[in-house]
């Protein structure tokens, strides 16, 4: 398998896990900052859970240029800042976004973008240590829907590295569906401070999830996307039962959440509007 040079821009919990998996057969650079950067630089990246090991991966605070692929894994609200930095060294590299939320691909219109979706679960345990808390599905595809040779080559590389990746011709629809699934799981786990699996363990929470999912399925139908969101939520919750959602992790750390990109696009429905406002309240600390 041909090695590729991959820069993971925004190597937090998920970015670190993806970088560790791909580093098994590729040259990977993790781009992160703060205590996580210092810990990885001094001691390497330790990954626990579905992926195990100590990974001595190069780490940087800024993108140096010269890579084949940039995986963008920053928070949705950090995208504009990431765009400004990447542009300083950008030379037409392929940029793959696995970010959550609606509208991200449009923000990246000046780049050669391959949109992606992944349902892997990841948690930051402490600086330099992340947990691969759920093994999910990963999809990539051209935003035009065309099945190109390059996406198949990338998917083959990722799969042979250990990140099973499927090529699809409806990636933009799948990003809407992923956003809908996140719009159920993330606010419920953040508001009640629970791991993903608890949604399915409790009858009350499961009933709320069903109500939300039905609203979101109707929303997607209006966009011509026919999916049973409730079944998809069940699948993701059970695969990532021990994971803390990114929104819960943000609330616990007193950080801004991605609610404006995950929940707000669906907030014309009563359920989602109420949950959006609850999360915005929690963001205030």
Which residue numbers are catalytic? 178
Topology given in CATH for the domain delimited by 5-169: Rossmann fold (3.40.50)
Predicted TM-score (pTM) of this structure: 0.91
Sequence ranges of the chain with CATH classification 3.40.50.720: 5-169
- The pLDDT assigned to 235 comes to 93
Q: In whole angstroms, give the CA distance from residue 120 to residue 235.
A: 12
What confidence category does residue 270 fall into, taking pLDDT thresholds of 50, 70 and 90? confident
Residues of the chain with CATH 1.10.1040.10: 173-283
pLDDT tens for each residue of 256-265: 999 999 999 9
The torsion defined by the Cα of 206, 249, 268 and 207, in degrees rounded to 10, comes to: 10
The pLDDT of 127-136, averaged and rounded, is 94
Fold of 173-283: 1.10.1040
The whole-number pLDDT of residue 2 equals 82
What's the number of CA atoms in the CB half-sphere (13 Å) around residue 251? 21
CA atoms within 13 A on the CB side of 216: 31
The predicted-structure confidence for 33-70, as pLDDT tens digits, reads as follows 999 999 999 999 999 999 999 999 999 999 999 999 99
For residue 32, is pLDDT > 70?
Answer: yes
pLDDT for position 1: 61
Q: Please compute the mean of the pLDDT values over residues 238-265 and round it to a whole number.
A: 93
The predicted pLDDT at position 52 comes to 96
């Amino acid at each position: 398998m041909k090695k590729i040079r991959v820069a993971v821009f925004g190597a937090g919990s998920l970015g670190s896990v993806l970088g560790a998996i791909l580093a098994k057969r590729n040259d990977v650079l993790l781009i992160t900052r703060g205590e996580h950067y210092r810990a990885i630089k001094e001691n390497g990246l330790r990954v626990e859970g579905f992926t195990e090991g100590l990974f001595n991966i190069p780490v940087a605070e800024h993108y140096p240029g010269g890579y084949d692929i940039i995986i963008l894994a920053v928070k949705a609200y950090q995208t504009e800042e990431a765009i400004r930095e990447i542009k300083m060294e950008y030379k037409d590299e392929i940029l793959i976004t696995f970010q959550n939320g609606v509208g991200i691909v449009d923000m990246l219109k000046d780049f050669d973008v391959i949109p992606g979706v992944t349902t892997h679960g990841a948690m930051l345990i402490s600086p330099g240590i992340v947990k691969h808390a759920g093994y999910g599905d990963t999809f990539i595809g051209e935003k035009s829907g065309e099945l190109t040779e390059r996406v198949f080559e990338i998917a083959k590389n990722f799969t042979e590295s250990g990140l099973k990746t499927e090529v699809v011709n409806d990636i933009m629809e799948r990003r809407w569906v992923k956003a809908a699934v996140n719009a159920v799981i993330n606010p419920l786990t953040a508001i009640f401070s629970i791991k993903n699996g608890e949604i399915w363990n409790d009858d009350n929470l499961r009933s709320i999830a069903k109500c939300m999912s039905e609203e979101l399925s109707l929303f997607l139908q209006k966009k011509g996307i026919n999916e049973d969101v409730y079944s998809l939520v069940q699948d993701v919750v059970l695969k990532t039962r021990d994971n803390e959602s990114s929104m819960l992790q943000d609330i616990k750390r007193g950080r801004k959440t991605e609610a404006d990109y995950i929940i707000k696009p669906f907030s014309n429905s009563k359920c989602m509007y109420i949950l959006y406002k609850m999360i915005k309240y929690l963001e205030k600390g």
